[in-house]
Structures are given as C-alpha cells and as structure tokens.
Amino acid sequence: MDAIPMLVEMVETLSFSRGEGVLAQLLVKRMTELGFDARVDEAGNAVGYVGVPPSEAEHTIVLLGHIDTVPGCIPVRVVDGKLYGRGSVDAKGPLATFIQAVARVEAAPQTSIVIVGAVEEEVASSKGAHFAATQYQPDACVIGEPSGWDAVTIGYKGCQWVDVQGARDCGHGAGPVGAISEEVVRFWNRLSQEAPAYGPAGDGLFDSVDLRLDQFRTGSDGLRDTARATIGMRLPEEFRAAAFKLRACELADELGLEIEFRGELPAHTGSRADGLGRAFGRALASRGVRPRFLKKTGTSDMNVVGPAWKCPIVAYGPGDSSLDHTPNEHIVLEDYERAIEVLSAALVVGEWARPRRESSLVSASS
C-alpha cells in the first residue's frame, strides 16, 4: 500500500490504549504485503522485520514506535495537504514512516531491521516497550515520536506519578478541625516548593523538576470525608529520587496522608556523535537541511528501552509535537513523505541497509 493511504487507514483505525488489537492485526497484514515477516507478539505489539531473523542476525536495528493513542475522536480528513485525526502525529505518523522507509531498502547482509508497533505507551504501564526490551539486543534503536522531519530527538526527561490521599471524620465547617482536602492541598504546595531542590543545578528546561497537579478529588459518605490528588512529575537526569521519596513520605506522614509512587522512568539521553546520530545528520544534510538535535521535556519509550539496551538511540518522526493529544492534531503529508526519505537514507548511511535498485537514496559512501 502506498504511503499516504496507509497512514490514513492507520489513523482511521481507533487504537486507544489497551484497545490496540484491530490496528495491530491491520499492521501485520500491511507489513506482510510489503515484504516483512510480521506477527503480533505476546504483548500485543505489531512486529515485522526484513533481512535475517533477529535471533540469527549479526547486526540488528530496532525501530520502536507505538500504536496506541490517548482518547478523543477527531474526524479523519485531509485538508490543504494536512491529515487530521487522533494519532496522526502521536505516533502513527512516525510508525508509518518506519514501515514505508524500511520497505524502500534492503537489509544489509546478516542484518535484521525490526519494526515494533508497541502497545500501551500512552499509559504508565508501557507494556509493549517493556516486553520488547526483553526480546532484542539491538546495535541501535530509533524511537517513533514526532521530532519534525528535519530534526532528531536525542533525549527525554523522566517521569513519575505521586498519589496522595487521606480521610477524616466529618465535622461541622465551623468546628476546630480542618478539612482533609486542606491537608492534601498543603502537601501539594510544600512538595511543589521543595521538589526542585532534588534536581541538578542547571536552570534549563531539561534540567528542571516540573510538577503538575493532574487530578484532585474530594468525597464524603456523610461520616468520612476523603481527598485524593495525583501529581505528575517530569524529572531531569541526576534527579535524587531516593532522597526525594524519603522527603515526600515525611511530608505525607506529618499531614496524616497516605502516599504511593508509580510509573517511575528515569531520564535518558542518546548522542548526536555516535554512529546513529551521525547517520541521521548526514541523511538530513544530504537534503539541504542543517540537522537539529533536540532534548524534550516529555517522555517516550526511549526511557524504557534506552537503559535496558544501552545502545545508540534517537527518536525520529514527522509531525509537530505541540499538537500531541490536542483536538487539532494533524500532520503535514509532505513532511511525512520527506521523513520517509530521510529515514531510508539514514538506514543506508548507517550501513544497516542498502538501497533497492530502483531507489535514489543516498549511498553509504556519499
């Protein structure tokens, strides 16, 4: 299937987190038609490879995207060269780029080029990436996330969530005992004030500790009042996690609250100077683009597989990441096609692939 119709079909197929099965099967079908060996793995990921099987390969590169999206139905339509729809940017556009780019090249001898469309990236489980981390030991990895077709992402901040809750006997509003909701608010105020001190000394966005009050709920059954808050944290490298957790537990105990930490992922940074970074740099330069290498304040599956694989790793894909999760999510189709060309060229330059005879891709010796 041609590049644009395949992407439209992917965006039209709803795949909210934990409901990705239909899209996974569709991608296996499309990859098989394009010459991949493809299947749905035990985690529900859509997996396809070209070249030798990963278990037999001397060299392996894994292109890891995700097939789930956040909720929200956006009417799928093409207007003025832009494809609107949930997941068009985050991250079906990058994953479609992977499939189309690999279909345009041939794997180098004794090489496996593996594409993984992972499930549950948009929820704290990252089920698909955690499973993939146990299945491969690649020499390099590209994560499918929107960087813009003319840029490469080399780092993401880490994250974790803090759930804090409390309960207290009901009392009259004019009585001497304050509301349990006030204690939860005090916890939020103090934690947000103190948390930045547990990060590094740098003052850039990538070095900062960022907190957001994601949820705040109160309730009562007439006998007990309850309050609960969920705090999302974006964490830099060198974040002193153990010391922070100890302090957060002290604050919760002082205020009579219960606390739970979940979804912790450390920050992870690749390099623009290793073989993978240089391959993308040369591929972009061959198209008249001065390469840009970005560090982002969000997270991705790079945070899961990067520490496990300890190989050169970047994230790449078309699309404007500021449109992620928004009602206006859309991708410029010309940028999508450019990204396919860049990724195909990067695979050739990095010597994981060679161009097909009919291809005009840049050669590894250019």
CATH number of residue 305's parent domain: 3.40.630.10
Q: What is the pLDDT of residue 176?
A: 66
Helix ranges restricted to H, the chain = 3-12, 21-33, 92-103, 127-135, 180-194, 241-254, 275-285, 302-309, 333-349
Q: Are residues 137 and 174 in the same domain?
A: no
Report yes or no on 364 lying in a domain: no
33 is catalytic: no
Give the total number of structural domains in the chain: 2
Owning domain of residue 165: 158-265
The ranges of the chain with pLDDT < 70 are 172-177, 357-366
Residue 312 shares a structural domain with residue 348: yes
How far, in Å, CA of 260 to CA of 264, rounded?
Answer: 11
Which phi and psi angles does 69 have, rounded to 5°?
-130, 165
Q: Is residue 363 part of a domain?
A: no
Residues 322 and 245 in one domain: no
Q: Are residues 146 and 189 in the same domain?
A: no
Give the pLDDT confidence score for residue 7 in this predicted structure. 98
Count Cβ atoms within 10 A of the Cβ of residue 298 and give its class: 0-12 exposed, 13-18 middle, 19 or more buried. middle
pLDDT score at 205? 87
Q: In this predicted model, what pLDDT tens digit does every residue of 90-118 receive, in sequence order?
A: 999 999 999 999 999 999 999 999 999 99
Residue 58 bears catalytic tag: no
d(CA 83, CA 9): 11
Q: Could you tell me if 67 and 143 are in contact, meaning their C-beta atoms sit under 8 angstroms apart?
A: no
Same domain, 139 and 171: no
Partners of 302 in the β-ladder: none
Judged on CB neighbours under 10 Å (0-12, 13-18, 19+), 175 is exposed
> Looking at this protein, which amino acid is placed at residue 31?
M
The residue among 265, 288, 320 that closes a domain is 265
Please tell me which residue in 20, 68, 139, 335 is annotated as part of the active site. Answer: 68
Q: Could you say which of 265, 295, 324 is where a domain stops?
A: 265
Of the listed 20, 106, 120, 121, which one is catalytic?
121
Maximum separation of any 2 CA atoms in the chain, in Å: 82
CA–CA dist 188, 202 (Å, integer): 24
Q: Is the pTM of this model over 0.85?
A: yes
Residue 361 belongs to some domain of the structure? no
How far CA 181 is from CA of 216, 221, 296, 349, in Å, comes to: 9, 15, 34, 58
